[in-house]
Structure 1
Amino acid sequence: MAKNFLLIKVLLLIKLLNAHFTDDWTFAKITVLTSEINYSETNKLYQNVRTKNQFECFKLCFKSNECEFLEYNENNCSFYDSLAKNNKTLNGNFWYKVAYNCFGEKIDAKNKILNSFNPTVINLNFQNICYIKPFILRNFTFLIYLLIRNNILSFLQANTFIGMDNLACLDLSNNKIDTIKSGAFNGLSKLIFLGLQSNRLKYLSTKSLSGLTLLRSLDLSNNMIEYLEKNTFDDLISLRYLTLSSNRFNYLDAEIFLKIPELIHLNLGVNNLKSMDLKFLKKLDDLYLNNNQLTNFTTNLTSIKYLYLNGNPLGYLNYSFFESNGMIPSLNFLNIHNCQLESIDKNAFIKYKNLANLIIGKNNFKTLDYKIFDEMNTTLRSVSVDRNASYITNITLLYPWIRFNLMA
């Protein structure tokens, strides 16, 4: 009887230690044969706690976005976000998060789905793919386009795309990706476009995008990201186009953009931003800040040509609204549609010497000063206003060279 009870306890403990806490992840012990880890030069410990057992240690690691690896030894539980390959990490006490299971198509050694494609383009869209085994694509050295959108991937492991030395375009949009492991994009030194929009990302580690030094366009829109580390984009020194719209940002530190000064297009629309500091983006042409919580806009930018502030609670627009930021000489397009504006000062646009297109519809003002466009007789060509506004007739007669687009 005692032996049976002991056996039951052992079986329960084994079940606990092998339990997974999401549909996709469990832990595996690190050995000399482990190939799914992106090793670093040193072990980086960030937390050490005492736990009752190994199971509790695993649970704590799963709750942390930063925990990539753990060490458990006699109730001592240590979390690491990077490991070096040495005698210590191979001593049998170290574990790492690993894919557990998924229900769908798996790209692994047994899968024949890759056999029918040409050498430069692989289209895996709408294939119900849930898993890509690391190193499995290493022989596709001449591949340029890899399309894996509209599948059910939930994670990307280290070395998933290793060996694809000439890949230029990687589209992973419309999946269920919530985890990008450090080193997931190892080997993609020539990647130019990366599409990660419409996934379930809440967090990016500082090494999620490491090594993508030639990347020019990154789309992270329509995720659930609330926060970015200051050095998230540090390796993306060639980046020109960045889309972060439709996330959950309340704040973005200015230093996030420090290492991507060549950026010319930035979309931060549909977030919860109340202020912005973009002082490091001296070459920015297009800036989308629509549908945030901005009540004013000030920044040291002189290059912006297209500015979208529509859908923000601005309230009032006067001469000094943009004056301090030095960007007026270059502005060509301004959208302040639906900004709860009560009035626009007659001198608000006096220094907009290059403004050609203005959208001011769906605001709360009843009238516009008839001199509002006097200083813009050589540049302003198009103004979008409310169709039923009482001031329309007088304004259109005064400025016959401007095309007034009437909005419903």
Structure 2
Amino acid sequence: QSLFLINDEIADIVKNTFSGFSDLHTLGLDFNNLTHVKKSWFTGLTNLHYLSLSKNKIEQIDPGCFKNLPNLHLDLQHNLLQVIDPVWFSGRRYLSYLYLGYNKAKIEDIEENTFRDFSFLTTLGLDFNRLRHVKRSWFPFLQGLSFLTLSNNKIEQIDPGCFNNLPNLLHLDLERNLLQIIEAAWFFGHSNIRSLYLGFLTLSNNKIEQIDPGCFKNLPNLLHLDLQRNLLQIIEAAWFFGHSNIRCLYLGYNNIRSIPFNAFQNLNILDELSFLTLSNNKIEQIDPGCFKNLPNLLHLDLQHNLLQ
């Protein structure tokens, strides 16, 4: 069963309003004027799985507010939250989806152990905030996380081994931040973990000028790598050392001027690459045979360059 009270200018909810709705599965309270989320609102909602409170004016949330809501998918996007307080979620072990993006007040940091009880969390959205430093201490308990978006922040720094405690992370979105270098240590620093499950990595629209050699070797399942709209000037085979599974590589909208013969020369790199885009660069020269070590390449995009 579902109940949607959307765009009704609701500013508060009377205690126990939903106490007789024990079979309610979905509750939508979007586009209202709620400022304070109270624990008393959710009494009796033992079967609630989807709660959307997006596009309100929420600044305050009661401690343990979501404690008795099992397997919850929680949307708190587009509010006025400035911090993520662990007490909101105390006793809340089975949260599966949490969206905290687009907060107008902009979250700038996350307290250590905020997600301590979130071992069942699969999706975490922290986009469109003011995060600057992604810390390893944020993620020690998120063993089940598969989708993490940190796009549209102001991220300049990522701790070594930051993602090592996310063994099931499939999709990592770091688009539209202020990163200047991709460090190999992000993916394997200070850890005994030999490889990560990551399949989709988005780093477009940053200020990336440098990529560490062998940066992706601990990501054997990486299929999709987006490096568009950065400040890369060259392509180096060393970036992909030890990696052969990438299918789609996006290098458009950079400052690449030439593609040398050895750009993809090393053996056993990019053997599975089928889609390569180099459009909207400043490419004037492509050396003969530079793509010969890409045996499965099906789509090559060189539009909008300076080739004659």
Q: Could you state the TM-score of these two structures normalised by the residue count of structure 2?
A: 0.84
Q: Is the 8 A contact 2:18 2:45 kept in 1?
A: no
- Per-residue deviation, 1:117: 9.7
Matched AA of 1:148: L
Aligned length: 283
Q: Which has the higher contact order (CA 8 A, sep 6+)?
A: 2
Are 1:278 and 2:182 an aligned pair?
no
SS of match in other structure, 2:293 = helix
Are 1:308 and 2:217 an aligned pair?
no
- Per-residue deviation, 1:233: 1.5
SS of match in other structure, 1:311 = coil
Q: Is the 8 A contact 1:158 1:183 kept in 2?
A: yes
Q: After the TM superposition, which residues 206-355 of structure 1 pair with which residues of structure 2 at under 5 Å, given as runs?
A: 206-275=112-181, 276=183, 277-279=186-188, 282-298=196-212, 299=215, 300-301=217-218, 302-323=220-241, 326-327=242-243, 329-350=244-265, 351-355=269-273
Cα distance in structure 2, aligned partners of 1:354 and 1:255? 27
The percentage of counterpart residues that share the same residue type is 24
- Per-residue deviation, 1:116: 7.9
| Compared CA separation, residues 180 and 157, structure 1 to 2 (3 A) | farther
Task: Tell me the equivalent position of 1:91.
Answer: none
Greater Rg, structure 1 or structure 2? Answer: 1
SS of match in other structure, 2:162 = helix
1:17-75 deviations in whole A, cap 9, x for unaligned? xxxxxxxxxxxxxxxxxxxxxxxxxxxxxxxxxxxxxxxxxxxxxxxxxxxxxxxxxxx
SS of match in other structure, 2:27 = strand
| Compared CA separation, residues 106 and 337, structure 1 to 2 (3 A) | same
| Compared CA separation, residues 153 and 231, structure 1 to 2 (3 A) | same
Task: Tell me the equivalent position of 1:195.
Answer: 99
SS of match in other structure, 1:307 = strand
- Per-residue deviation, 1:115: 7.4
Q: After the TM superposition, which residues 143-154 of structure 1 pair with which residues of structure 2 at under 5 Å, given as runs?
A: 143-154=48-59
Q: Is the 8 A contact 1:297 1:322 kept in 2?
A: no
Matched AA of 2:260: D
| Compared CA separation, residues 387 and 270, structure 1 to 2 (3 A) | closer
| Compared CA separation, residues 201 and 115, structure 1 to 2 (3 A) | farther
1:379 to 296, 299, 305: 296
| Compared CA separation, residues 122 and 104, structure 1 to 2 (3 A) | closer
Matched AA of 2:198: L
Matched AA of 1:379: N
Task: Tell me the equivalent position of 1:54.
Answer: none
Cα distance in structure 1, aligned partners of 2:179 and 2:231? 12
Cα distance in structure 1, aligned partners of 2:251 and 2:262? 16
Runs of at least 5 residues in structure 2 that lack an aligned partner in the other structure? 1-8
Q: After the TM superposition, which residues 128-167 of structure 1 pair with which residues of structure 2 at under 5 Å, given as runs?
A: 128-164=33-69, 166-167=70-71
Are 1:185 and 2:103 an aligned pair?
no
Cα distance in structure 1, aligned partners of 2:25 and 2:304? 52
Matched AA of 1:347: N
- Per-residue deviation, 1:344: 1.5
Cα distance in structure 1, aligned partners of 2:22 and 2:29? 10
Matched AA of 1:336: L
Q: After the TM superposition, which residues 76-115 of structure 1 pair with which residues of structure 2 at under 5 Å, given as runs?
A: 105-109=11-15, 112=17
Q: Could you state the TM-score of these two structures normalised by the residue count of structure 1?
A: 0.64
Runs of at least 5 residues in structure 1 that lack an aligned partner in the other structure? 1-102, 392-408
Q: Is the 8 A contact 1:243 1:268 kept in 2?
A: yes
Q: Is the 8 A contact 1:221 1:243 kept in 2?
A: yes
Cα distance in structure 1, aligned partners of 2:262 and 2:201? 24
Cα distance in structure 1, aligned partners of 2:222 and 2:173? 13
- Per-residue deviation, 1:363: 0.8
Q: Is the 8 A contact 1:109 1:136 kept in 2?
A: yes
